[in-house]
Every structure is written in structure tokens, then in C-alpha cells.
Amino acid sequence: MDTVTLIQTLLNSVVASSIYALVAVGLALAFGVMKMANFAHGEFFMVGAYCVYVLYALVGLPFPLAVILAIPIVALFGLVAERLIFRPTRKNILAGFMATAGLAFILQVLAGQIWGVGIAKSIPTPYMGAADVGDATIGWQRLIVIPCAFAMLLALRFFLYRVKLGKALRACAQDPEIAALQGIRTNRMTALAMALAGASAGLAGALMAPIHSVTPYMGHGVILIAFVVVIVGGMASIEGAILAAVILGFIHTFVTTVTDNLIATMVGVGFMALTLIVRPQGLLGRERA
């Protein structure tokens, strides 16, 4: 691999890591509070991308505004999913699994019915041109993913560690019964977690819309990687999800560059298997007390 390709691949790795982190953090947060995996999380990503398609490509709003609007819209999807699916099935893991998998299909079919299946939606690239980094070049459209993801993750971190409500969310994830004894309302915290999960996945989808092909099924590939990331990081750990997103972002991008996407996915899952053998609780997960 020559220097130009190396720099190019490094930059692409950072972009991939940023998106993985955004998607996986929401999944980890929701799992931490509800102990339930949201199989429709990839569809939140898809809805985020469609928000940009509709608001930017169809309606003609400026791209940044479309991206910013995608955040509360998908957060609302998260809230509704919590109220209608997670809360009623909280005591039954199997029912919750079936319901979220069902939601994934419903959202896919809905997007397909409204905007059609078949060829991917074409979204005009809002930011043409490329930046020169050494001898390598990277499109602005990819590059802006990095600061946006960073800003979102920093805001999330600030909320969870500096704001009382965010701390209560962490308390609820660590011990819901004891959190309730402090007066923290569990239902409110699960709703909050799902809203944040929707917000971050929605942002990821919105940012990827001009780069990724926008189809009703674009959530599939993302959810697979997100689960690998969250499992490697340690199911409920936010920091673990971010660390694992960086590691897997680099693995995927480098292996894809050298070979192809399919092998990259295999290597990623292999890395997960290896992690589970060496550290079953994940990189930064803790063993259940």
C-alpha cells in the first residue's frame, strides 16, 4: 500500500468510525437502560437518511437544516417505539425481540410504499469538491461527517456526565430498582434513552444520505455492524461502543481497501468472536454483579 492510499484509507477509517460510533452509541444506551436489543435501530438510521432525501432533495431545504431536522424527527420515532413496543414488552424479552424486528420490517415496507423500492434515491451532493491531505484527497461530503459525529458524541457525553437527568439515566442503567428508590422514574428514563438512540442514529443516517445509497433496506448492513460494535465494546457501555467503533471502523476500511466488503465483514465478526473468547463481557463491559 503506497502512502497516498494509506492516508486515504486512514481518513476513510475515521469517517467509518464516526458513523459506527453514532449508530452503536444509541444501541448501547437503549440496551443499557432497557436490557433489550432494538432490532429496528438500523431502520432509525434509514429514516434519518430519508429525512434528508425528503427535506433536502425533494423539498429543497438547505442540507445542514435537513440534517439538523432529522435529529428530532428520528428521536420522535424512538419515543414512539418506546411507548408502543418496549414499554409493553419490557417483561418479556422474546416478545420485545419479535416486536422490534417487526417494527424494522414495518418501517422498511413503509419507506418502500411511500418512496418506492428499486433503485436508490439519488441525492445531489451538497458539498462538491475535495480536500487535499498530503497527496491524498477526500471529498468534503465525507470529511464533514467527522466533526458532526464528534459534536454529537461530545454533547451526549456532557449530558450523561454533567446533567442531573443524564446521570439519572446512567443510574437507571446500572440498577433500575435502586434508581426507583431514589425517586427516578424508570419509564421516563427508557423514553429518554430511546429518544437519544433515535437522535444519534438519525443523525448518522442523515449525514450518510448523500454518500450511501438511500434505500428502504439500507439499515440492514448498519445494524449488523452496530451489533458487532456494541458486543465488542461491552453491551451497555457507551465508552466501549465508541472504542469498538474506532477499532472496527479501521478494520473494516482497511480490509475493504485491500480485499472487499464481504471479507471485511467476516474479519469484523471474527474480531468479535475473538473478543468474546478473551473478554466475554466486551472491551469495557463489566461482569454482572
Partner 1 sequence: MLLELEDVSVRYRKIEAVKGISIGVGEGEIVTLIGANGAGKSTTLRAISGLERLSGGEIRLEGKRIDGSSPERIAGLGIAHVPEGRRVFPMMTVRENLEMGAYLRKDGDALRADFEDVFRRFPRLQERANQLAGTLSGGEQQMLAMGRALMSRPNVILMDEPSLGLSPIMCREIARIIRALHTEKRTIVLVEQNARLALALAQKGYVMETGRIVLEGPASDLRENDKVQHTYLGVA
Contact positions vs partner 1 (CB under 8 A) = 164, 167-168, 170-171, 174-175, 177-186, 286, 289
For every residue of 79-103, DSSP letters joined together read HHHIIIIITTTTT-HHHHHHHHHHH
Shortest gap between Cβ of 26 and partner 1 (angstroms)? 19
Shortest gap between Cβ of 90 and partner 1 (angstroms)? 15
Distance from C-alpha of 151 to C-alpha of 206, rounded to nearest angstrom: 15
Shortest gap between Cβ of 244 and partner 1 (angstroms)? 17
Query: Quick one: CA dihedral 282, 284, 285, 287, positive or negative?
Result: positive
Closer of 182 and 261 to partner 1 (Cβ): 182
Closer of 111 and 189 to partner 1 (Cβ): 189
Closer of 32 and 42 to partner 1 (Cβ): 32
Distance from C-alpha of 46 to C-alpha of 51, rounded to nearest angstrom: 9
Q: Indicate the burial class of 60 (C-beta count within 10 angstroms; 0-12, 13-18, 19 or more).
A: exposed
Closer of 59 and 181 to partner 1 (Cβ): 181
Closer of 135 and 175 to partner 1 (Cβ): 175
Shortest gap between Cβ of 184 and partner 1 (angstroms)? 6
Mapping DSSP to helix (H, G, I), strand (E, B) and coil, where does residue 145 land? helix
Shortest gap between Cβ of 174 and partner 1 (angstroms)? 5
List the one residue out of 46, 6, 33 whose CA is nearest residue 226: 46
